[in-house]
Amino acid sequence: MHTAVRFPTRIGALALLDGGYWDVHDDPDYDPSLDLEARTAELHGRAEQGESWDASPEVIAVVMQAADQEPCSALLPALNSSEIPVLLVRATEPPEYESIRAHAVDRFEPAFQAQR
């Protein structure tokens, strides 16, 4: 999204694959007070408890820090103004995140009403 907003004439279309429509602050378990080191340690602890992800705790912690500092939702007005066609494909798993995803879609869709 950041690249599309910064260079809209170079982007013909944008597909968001379960990203770019929700912010880390949408997750009630997200703790914005953690710095990168503490977030990484917290994720390592969760991994030791049996939680697993498609990326390492270090990668996830960096992505969460970046998303905290530059949330994608702040880019929605500029992305809409660019008139770049956007396709959002959102996940349905895990089901316990459905309310978070639904809230994020409710914020995302109005930004693109003019494109319909």
Query: Within 10 Å of residue 40's Cβ, how many Cβ atoms?
Result: 20
The C-alpha atoms of residue 7 and residue 69 are separated, in whole angstroms, by 20
User: What's the pTM value of the predicted model, to 2 decimals?
Assistant: 0.75
Q: What is the pLDDT of residues 20-59, one digit of tens each?
A: 888 888 888 889 999 999 999 999 999 999 999 899 999 9
State residue 18's pLDDT score.
87
Contact present, 74 and 67 (Cβ < 8 Å): no
Number of domains present in the structure of the chain = 2
Q: What is the pLDDT of residues 91-102, one digit of tens each?
A: 988 898 899 999
**Residue 2 belongs to what domain range?**
1-23+71-116
Residues 64 and 79 in one domain: no
Residues 82 and 60 in one domain: no
